Structure 1
């Protein structure tokens, strides 16, 4: 009985996260040096045990495709369940400013 509203809420959150990651992808492609901070976040989370090996490998695979922007964007924004779940615990923290986040979510 309550599954539908919960599912709709989850889907709405996933769509907001997807929109944010669309903005992140554009910014990272425009400023590739930002990937250094992302890589540092990935390594720190894995080494501290905050991330499992499978997630680490998936994120690493996405990060390594930055040299091919179309592939990077496609992988980061893939709409499968696993990637949507991965984005919920993003390694792309601090890439967008609060103003950029607000603008993305405003649309």
Structure 2
């Protein structure tokens, strides 16, 4: 069994791989940004996000008009962003099939 910290690193890498795919899909299909906004509002109403996390997601969504900045913000290697991705507003962007493909590719890339 892996030490807890190593397990967290692996999980964060998987989450990052999923976010790369989700960001690409949202940038290619701007209508999906509405899902992100709806998720953010729903998560705030349900108390699933702290005030600070909600503000960060709002500022990220505000950067959507510049895909390069939008992508950089979401895929940042900063610890705070890694934590934010664990409570993502990107749920519902990938289909189950797309999610499985991303994770299979991630596992393959880790093994090589």
- TM-score, L = length of structure 1: 0.93
Taking only aligned residues, the RMSD between alpha carbons, in angstroms, comes to 1.0
Q: Give how far 1:99 is off.
A: 0.9
Residue 58 of structure 2 corresponds to which residue in structure 1? 60
Structure 1: runs of 5 or more not aligned = none
Rounded to whole Å, the distance in 2 between the matches of 1:48 and 1:98 is: 24
Pairing of 1:30-69 with structure 2 (within 5 A): 30-69=28-67
Query: Moved runs in structure 1, 4+ residues, more than 4 A?
Result: none
Pairing of 1:74-89 with structure 2 (within 5 A): 74-89=72-87
Q: Give how far 1:48 is off.
A: 2.5
Aligned 8 A contact 2:60 2:74 in 1: yes
Rounded to whole Å, the distance in 1 between the matches of 2:49 and 2:10 is: 25
Structure 2: runs of 5 or more not aligned = 106-112
- TM-score, L = length of structure 2: 0.89
Report how many aligned residue pairs link the two structures.
104
- Give the structure with the larger helix fraction: 2
Rounded to whole Å, the distance in 2 between the matches of 1:46 and 1:26 is: 25
Q: Give how far 1:39 is off.
A: 0.3
